């Protein structure tokens, strides 16, 4: 490995970055810096975030830009406001005490007049998001005629976000002899096209192991039912007391919903998505950066390019459709040589995506389990004991209060005191997790494919019903009947197991009686439907004459007859108007 002072950078700049804690160059810096310092090459850098690519292009830019010339000489284009601000901050940090450069950042969602004023003061480097730059160009505020270097950062992201036309316009507005330095985590066709159209014999730096992604990310996945994803998330968070993470959702609505649930459940969480005002986004990001916010729930677009150090976990509430999205999401952790976990909470349906991403990254994902209630509680106790061991005792301050404490506790044994003190923090979790069921699903292909759970409800009951396949019953039909007669939701029902003349289904315990009652008096083709608790714990017969005074309720009607013949199960349950209640 080469040292920074062998790359051709000025001594002052090497000293400046050393003071920032940059001891040795990262691989991309080692390769790109000497090449870019020549000032005569176009470059394609295939590097992900977290590899140190900002310094890889930023340090040469600082060396190459003439501080005595007030013209705009370099342009950095980045997909988001957050990334633009970050790049500007990095450039400012690098050149402080080295050169007096005016670096201006422009982005949408903020006062344009302030930005215009700053540019008019003479911006030697402009860092911009594409949309706002186009706006300023059309207002003739920005003059790109003296541009010598254009950096396109996270080019694949900009194209993903639909900035293709803007980028074309920007590149064709700049002088023909400018140099283009393009950085991208991936190299889709559209990025290649930009290289073909606007670059001359570009040097290509593919970071070794690029396909493997960041080695420091531990890629994990867990399989649960779709409906259990939120519960699984909470368990992981409870199990990892010092978690500092980003939780990714596909839509703004999910982002909002999960953040709201987490807040309601007492977690330190907030959401980041496109519907927030810029001021709201700034506030959230500020809290996250200074770590007063522990869990950031975000959409892909809103969280692009975030560089916050020490993120321990990236959690995916679903697998993204685009490979690039996965790379960008997981790249929020394990930055600057640190380690991090990227955990995908997936349903069985999404397992195929895990395989695809594994192939593409050439990295194996580790299958993990959702911690059980007991494990979470155990972890909490361990955490508590650790806290007790590590707490700083300020003898002089606390000593004067202790006699009273000793007096108040004098009748309790040491064991009692330990128990009580542990319970203070512990009871809340114990209460919550006492009957917690196992959320883990097998990742083997289920026999059932109608979305009903095949995971046993440890807090559920298994019920026998005297109708089955021989009656033309399908799982969807039985599910609809249970929901209709039992007045429960689909997600209160677990595994459905159809046999010949009878079937079994699982329901959450609290709904068992209600369902038993709901089926009272129900008939199918003149046969009385009978339900029984399995395991001999409880028995109740819908045909025992209790019910609604023996009044018969027929499972009939034209539509129902139709599917009963095995034709159309969809008819059931959509037929709300025919319901008896």
Residues that bind ligand AMP (CB under 6 A): 21-22, 25-26, 29, 49-55, 307, 309, 335-336
Closer CB to ligand AMP, residue 49 or residue 174?
A: 49
Query: Which residue from 210, 179, 161 is spatially nearest to 43, judged by alpha carbons?
Result: 179
Shortest distance, position 433 Cβ to ligand AMP, whole Å = 38
Shortest distance, position 462 Cβ to ligand AMP, whole Å: 53
Please state the three-class secondary structure of 291-341 as a single string. CCCCEEEEECCCCCCCCCCCCCEEEECCCCCCHHHHHHHHCCCCCCCCCEE
Of 58, 22, 236, which Cα lies nearest the Cα of 151? 58
Of 93 and 283, nearer to ligand AMP (C-beta) is 93
Helix (H, G, I), strand (E, B) or coil at 157: helix
What is the nearest approach in angstroms of ligand AMP to the Cβ of residue 184? 13
Q: How far is the CB of 49 from ligand AMP (least distance, A)?
A: 5
For 515-558, give the DSSP string: HHHHTTTEEETTEEP-EEEGGGS----TTSS-TTTT--EEE-SH
- Tell me the HSE value of 349 on the side-chain side, using a 13 A CA sphere: 12
* Contact (Cβ atoms closer than 8 angstroms) between residue 512 and residue 489: no
Structure tokens at 482: 């249970």
Q: How many CB atoms lie within 10 A of CB 349?
A: 12
Tell me if 261 sits within 8 A of 230, measured CB to CB: yes
- The CB-of-5 to ligand AMP minimum distance in angstroms stands at 13
Q: Which is nearer to ligand AMP, 45 or 494 (CB)?
A: 45
- At closest approach, how far in Å is the CB of 308 from ligand AMP? 9
The nearer residue to ligand AMP, 55 or 75, going by C-beta atoms, is 55
H/E segment holding residue 345: strand 340-346
Q: What are phi and psi of 497, to 5 degrees?
A: -125, 100
Minimum CB distance to ligand AMP, residue 335 (Å): 5
Q: How far is the CB of 35 from ligand AMP (least distance, A)?
A: 17
CB of 212 to ligand AMP, least distance (A): 16
Rounded distance between C-alpha atoms, residue 560 and residue 553, angstroms:
13
Q: Which is nearer to ligand AMP, 19 or 427 (CB)?
A: 19
| Closer residue to ligand AMP in complex, CB, 15/491 | 15
Q: How many CB atoms lie within 10 A of CB 18?
A: 13
Chain-centroid distance, C-alpha 268: 16
Quick check: helix, strand or coil at residue 484? helix
- Between 309 and 546, whose beta carbon lies closer to ligand AMP? 309
By beta-carbon proximity to ligand AMP, the closer residue of 156 and 307 is 307
If the CB atoms of residues 33 and 467 are measured against ligand AMP, the closer one turns out to be 33
Whether the CB-CB separation of 44 and 205 falls below 8 Å is answered with yes
Closest listed residue to residue 465, CA positions, set 410, 382, 541 = 541
Of 29 and 492, nearer to ligand AMP (C-beta) is: 29
Q: What whole-number distance in Å separates Cα of residue 329 and Cα of residue 326?
A: 5
Q: Which helix (DSSP H) or strand (DSSP E) does residue 284 occupy?
A: helix 278-289
Contact 542, 521 (CB under 8 A): yes
CB contact at 8 A, 492 and 472: no
**Nearest-approach distance from CB 255 to ligand AMP, in angstroms:** 23
Question: How many other β-carbons are positioned within 10 Å of the β-carbon of residue 70?
Answer: 13
Measured from the CB atom, is 25 or 518 closer to ligand AMP? Answer: 25
CA 47 to mean position of chain CA atoms = 21
Closer residue to ligand AMP (CB): 42 or 154: 154
Nearer to ligand AMP, 86 or 318 (CB): 86
Residue 332 CB, shortest distance to ligand AMP, in Å, is: 10
Q: What are phi and psi of 274, to 5 degrees?
A: -65, -15
Q: How many other CB atoms are there within 10 angstroms of residue 264's CB atom? A: 9
* Token duo for residue 474: 């399908």
Going by DSSP bridges, is the β-strand pair 103-106/125-128 parallel, antiparallel, or unpaired? parallel
CA 347 to CA 228: how far, in whole Å? 9
In angstroms, what is the minimal distance from the CB of 245 to ligand AMP?
17
Strand order in the sheet with 527-528: 527-528, 522-524, 553-555
Of the two residues 127 and 136, which places its CB atom closer to ligand AMP in the complex? Answer: 127
CB of 4 to ligand AMP, least distance (A): 8
Report the nearest approach of ligand AMP to the CB of residue 478 (Å).
Answer: 54
């Amino acid at each position: 490995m080469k040292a920074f002072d062998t790359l051709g950078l000025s001594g002052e700049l090497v000293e400046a970055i050393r003071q920032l804690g940059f001891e040795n160059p990262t691989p991309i810096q080692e390769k790109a810096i000497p090449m870019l310092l020549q000032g005569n090459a176009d470059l394609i850098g295939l590097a992900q975030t977290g590899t140190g690519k900002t310094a890889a292009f930023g340090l040469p830019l600082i060396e190459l830009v003439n501080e005595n010339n007030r013209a705009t000489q370099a342009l950095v284009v980045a997909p988001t406001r957050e990334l633009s601000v970050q790049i500007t901050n990095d450039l400012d940090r690098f050149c402080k005490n080295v050169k007096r450069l005016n670096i201006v950042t422009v982005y949408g969602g903020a006062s344009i007049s302030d930005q215009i004023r700053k540019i008019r003061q003479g911006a030697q480097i402009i860092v911009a998001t594409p949309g706002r730059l186009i706006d300023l160009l059309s207002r003739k505020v920005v003059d790109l005629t003296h541009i010598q270097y254009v950096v396109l950062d996270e080019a694949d992201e900009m194209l993903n976000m639909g900035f293709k036309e803007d980028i074309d316009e920007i590149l064709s507005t700049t002088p023909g002899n400018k140099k283009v330095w393009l950085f991208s985590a991936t190299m889709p066709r559209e990025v290649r096209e930009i290289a073909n159209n606007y670059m001359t014999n570009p040097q290509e730096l593919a970071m070794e192991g690029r396909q493997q992604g960041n080695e420091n990310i531990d890629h994990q996945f867990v399989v649960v039912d779709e409906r259990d994803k939120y519960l699984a998330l909470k368990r992981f968070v409870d199990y990892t007391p010092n978690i500092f993470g980003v939780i990714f959702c596909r839509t703004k609505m999910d982002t909002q919903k999960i953040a709201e649930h987490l807040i309601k459940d007492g977690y330190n969480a907030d959401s980041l998505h496109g519907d927030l005002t810029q001021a709201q986004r700034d506030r959230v990001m500020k809290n996250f950066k200074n770590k007063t916010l522990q869990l950031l729930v975000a959409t892909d677009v809103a969280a692009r390019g975030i560089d916050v150090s020490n993120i321990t976990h990236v959690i995916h509430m679903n697998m993204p459709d685009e490979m690039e999205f996965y790379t960008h999401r997981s790249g929020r952790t394990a930055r600057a040589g640190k380690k991090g976990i990227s955990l995908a909470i997936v349903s069985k349906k999404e397992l195929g995506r895990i395989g695809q991403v594994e192939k593409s990254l050439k990295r194996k994902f580790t299958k993990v389990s959702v911690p059980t209630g007991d494990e979470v509680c155990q972890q909490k106790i361990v955490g508590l004991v650790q806290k007790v061991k590590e707490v700083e005792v300020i003898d002089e301050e606390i000593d004067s209060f202790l006699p009273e404490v000793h007096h108040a506790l004098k009748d309790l044994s040491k064991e009692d005191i330990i128990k009580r003190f542990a319970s203070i923090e512990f009871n809340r979790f114990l209460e919550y997790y006492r009957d917690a069921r196992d959320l883990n699903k097998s990742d083997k292909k289920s026999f059932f494919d109608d979305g009903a759970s095949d995971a046993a409800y440890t807090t559920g009951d298994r019920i026998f019903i005297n109708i089955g396949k021989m009656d033309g019953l399908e799982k969807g039909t039985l599910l609809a009947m249970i929901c209709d007669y039992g007045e429960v939701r689909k997600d209160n029902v677990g595994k459905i197991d159809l046999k010949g003349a009878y079937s079994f289904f699982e329901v959450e315990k609290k709904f068992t009686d209600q369902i038993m009652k709901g089926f009272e008096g129900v008939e199918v083709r003149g046969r009385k439907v009978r339900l029984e608790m399995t395991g001999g714990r409880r028995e109740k017969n819908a045909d025992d004459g209790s019910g609604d005074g023996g009044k018969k309720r027929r499972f009939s009607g034209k539509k129902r007859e139709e599917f009963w013949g095995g034709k159309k199960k969809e008819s059931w349950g959509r037929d709300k108007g025919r319901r008896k209640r």
